[in-house]
Structure 1
């Protein structure tokens, strides 16, 4: 009787939940409708999320509010559940939650705006505006200095080449540069150019850079390269506020670590400028406060607090090429070092913990020196957790990861469940990824060189399901171990999950 009494209420609650879902202005995407929805929109924001992710839960009400407000402006917001649609998320390179991407007719760029409702609304409205502004005689002087990097294309007619290619580049980089075009004869005369002409105005170093190539046949990629090569100062101080500029440039970064209180620090910086000019477009150069960023120096394998010091970093692969700190840093040595780096004649210095004397635990402990030997053993499937000792998510994963290794202990000659402290061990050049968050889980199938990302929840059941699906080798243990595996205890899934 009591159960029956509550059935109407339960039905009402279920109906209400369904109604809320149906009333949402956020479009739910699956493989069956992703292309048909996204590819036709001039502008749409897509959130890739996991239901257990704390940051996703915090974003949800703001995302809903923004979706409702932007609906009136013809801008759509959508979402993809990466637990239910794992393949779709992997297809779009999702490595953490939430990941937000702005799509324009199916072409994605990373969302770099705020995550509150008003910020999302403002960012997307700005994205809906033209990527290229018309420049006239009235606003030309003001427009040239309106941002740190301003690109202006001067044309005889709006339809002239390379107008469409310039617009395509602007659409991809509207967050990085300010783009304008002008067909105003007065503007063209004052700029002292012969149309078509492309000029980059900068708030540093040489204030004006003219494009020197065949402008009429230039494509969007060449325009992008021109802007990137000239988007950073020849030699500037780097810090938290401008590091991302260098990271996005795609070029290696050469650091001069220096103590700003040293009376000769300006002279040291000035001595490196000619070398920076010599390698412009191949390597970016910066100087950095060695006292303030001493931990960063250690991360770049500069082990002693001895300044000045110099290191080149391949940002794409996170490889480090420090000059031995027993040497005195001077311009000739730096010039020789960078020249060898550009020529591919230097070997990276890989940080590695000592090789363990024994492997007594079910989880195999990887270090930098053993990575290639273990992970690229073609006879074995390998599942690696890259962790940090201070990471709370990693600590919560540990008992589950241990249980996973225990489950497959009888087939560890074919399947290696491993872990590596990514703060104390560098990845070798043989891998094409870098670890940017903890924990990062990567599976390398036997006989292959590529890795499969694990983006599911962190319950033992889900990890087992993933291993069984990805492994190339048989996971059936020899009969002597089969009983042990069959009776291996499987702990309950965590009730609380943490985001990547």
Structure 2
């Protein structure tokens, strides 16, 4: 995964004047590697802020460091804040990950670097330091355990871990020490708390009552909205791997909090971009979850609000260039791009096929595609006026007019090309028939976001918005790409009734030519022609 994604999330809006040549806020400024090594020996745990004199964004962190320092002064024991200017102390880079960029904050404990990944907020940073100082909380009673395992109200992503360790000692390789080491890596999981129970009498009692634990040595992972998971700690296993794999749900919204969990899992990630305000969002997620159940051991499934500007940037970065929502793409660390074809129907079967192709390496796009308007497609729709998101409420949802809208995509969507001549002819003919209460529009969802009440899981889609029923669910055309069928569909469901003439899809000259040709056919042939061009008793 690309850590630069979340660099955008930590932009601080505080304005501050600072001297780029000297970052002075802190207990000590690191100026040499020897000084750093001595400071590390003297301080088992400290906070390290890394900046650079050429980094203007680093100025925004200075007020935060000031607030952090004020809080650290009140703590016992006192945790120190060290500063380093990477342009002067280049040796710091060897402790940083390859994709770490300044400004960046670390907790350094026993010489090991732990990067702070959350929003830049002084309270969160102090909480991060506190978690590093005391990664595991000892629980001494059933009441404490009960309270610990009860997540705060309104926090659906809260994760709680409690280890019940019965047979153990305090050796360096003991279960408790292993658990503490793993817990250090969880300090960035802001919505996670880690506890331990060592009282043998309490553990034995809970085991006998079968409350929480089936084993004397158990690890309980509790997450709101999901069943608790329990690991037998007596069995050989990778403890950190088990926690990370079970620390997220089947499908979750990707946040700075659970990002670290997904990063630790290390599996490819499939992201669905949604409109959180769209009334069909739960339906889309339900489809996504069904696919996730089939592939959860190989792929992690997450979603993001695709209407947010920062997420629009993410979409483009991983190959999604249009405004179509929902849309899907893999987020990979190796530069490959696997976008789901924008505008393709969102179904369980089609997404499963897409995931299978990814796992079998059947397709790969190396570069982010650019979106370019299709001039030829625009010509095909030349007789159909455009509606935009800005004019949609007025032109489509305003009462008094029956409105037909085609939602299509001008970006690599073959169906939008196929339907173009048919829908354009429909718009042209309705215009020529001059039904004053009927409007026909098109909206290119490749460049326009759709209304929250409109479901565009399949592109192209045709909807009718009746004159006096401007509320969902709207009427959706699901028939063939046939002008006559579409015209009869509209005639049937409009609020302001009208009657179409014979062969309404033909202009007067075309109609005259049609009747002339028909009169020269046999009775059987005339009947066949009538079925195709005249009879309106379709199953609409």
Report the TM-score, using the length of structure 1 for normalisation: 0.56
Find out whether 1:80 has 2:84 as its counterpart: yes
Which residue matches 1:132?
Answer: 137
Which residue matches 1:186?
Answer: 205
Residue from 40, 46, 50 that aligns with 2:52: 50
Counterparts of 1:52-451 in structure 2, within 5 Å, are: 52-57=54-59, 59-60=61-62, 63=65, 66=69, 69=73, 73-93=77-97, 95-112=100-117, 123-146=128-151, 148-157=158-167, 159=169, 161-176=174-189, 177-182=192-197, 183=199, 184=202, 185-188=204-207, 189=209, 190-204=211-225, 206-211=226-231, 215-218=234-237, 222-238=238-254, 246=262, 249-258=265-274, 265-292=281-308, 296-314=314-332, 316-325=333-342, 327-351=344-368
Gaps of 5+ in 1: 1-19, 355-500
Over aligned residues, Cα RMSD in angstroms? Answer: 3.8
Change (3 A) 1:122 1:170: closer
Q: Note the C-alpha offset of 1:228.
A: 1.4
Q: Note the C-alpha offset of 1:137.
A: 1.1
Q: Any conservation in 2 of the 1:27–1:77 contact (CA below 8 Å)?
A: no
Change (3 A) 1:198 1:258: same
Q: Over residues 227-276 of structure 1, what are the superposed CA-to-partner deviations in whole Å (9 max), with x where a residue is unaligned?
A: 21122221234568866664565332213344567665534432332321
Q: Note the C-alpha offset of 1:307.
A: 4.4
Q: Note the C-alpha offset of 1:194.
A: 1.4
Find out whether 1:28 has 2:47 as its counterpart: no
Indicate the SS of the match to 2:93: helix
Q: Note the C-alpha offset of 1:44.
A: 1.1
Q: Any conservation in 1 of the 2:131–2:187 contact (CA below 8 Å)?
A: no
Of 233-242 and 96-105, more deviation after overlay is shown by 233-242
Indicate the SS of the match to 1:236: strand
Gaps of 5+ in 2: 1-21, 153-157, 372-540
Task: Report the Cα distance in structure 1 between the residues aligned to 2:278 and 2:296, rounded to whole angstroms.
Answer: 27
Q: State the number of aligned residues.
A: 329
Which residue matches 1:41?
Answer: 43
Change (3 A) 1:118 1:240: closer
Q: Any conservation in 1 of the 2:46–2:79 contact (CA below 8 Å)?
A: yes
Change (3 A) 1:252 1:114: closer
Change (3 A) 1:113 1:322: closer
Indicate the SS of the match to 2:356: helix
Change (3 A) 1:327 1:225: same
Q: Over residues 66-93 of structure 1, what are the superposed CA-to-partner deviations in whole Å (9 max), with x where a residue is unaligned?
A: 1882697342222222222223335534
Change (3 A) 1:198 1:81: same
Q: Any conservation in 2 of the 1:30–1:80 contact (CA below 8 Å)?
A: no
Q: Any conservation in 1 of the 2:52–2:58 contact (CA below 8 Å)?
A: yes
Q: Any conservation in 1 of the 2:32–2:89 contact (CA below 8 Å)?
A: yes
Change (3 A) 1:235 1:41: same
Q: Any conservation in 2 of the 1:49–1:99 contact (CA below 8 Å)?
A: yes
Which residue matches 1:493?
Answer: none
Q: Any conservation in 1 of the 2:163–2:219 contact (CA below 8 Å)?
A: yes
Change (3 A) 1:40 1:226: farther
Task: Report the Cα distance in structure 2 between the residues aligned to 1:50 and 1:261, rounded to whole angstroms.
Answer: 41
Q: Note the C-alpha offset of 1:187.
A: 3.5
Q: Any conservation in 1 of the 2:188–2:260 contact (CA below 8 Å)?
A: no
Change (3 A) 1:192 1:349: same
Change (3 A) 1:43 1:24: closer
Q: Any conservation in 2 of the 1:70–1:76 contact (CA below 8 Å)?
A: no
Q: Note the C-alpha offset of 1:117.
A: 6.7
Task: Report the Cα distance in structure 2 between the residues aligned to 1:295 and 1:22, rounded to whole angstroms.
Answer: 35
Indicate the SS of the match to 1:191: coil
Q: Any conservation in 1 of the 2:119–2:256 contact (CA below 8 Å)?
A: no
Indicate the SS of the match to 1:201: strand
Q: Any conservation in 2 of the 1:322–1:349 contact (CA below 8 Å)?
A: no
Specify the structure having the higher radius of gyration (Cα): 2
Higher relative contact order (CA 8 A, sep 6+): 1
Task: Report the Cα distance in structure 2 between the residues aligned to 1:320 and 1:313, rounded to whole angstroms.
Answer: 7
Change (3 A) 1:254 1:29: same
Q: Any conservation in 2 of the 1:40–1:106 contact (CA below 8 Å)?
A: no
Change (3 A) 1:47 1:291: closer
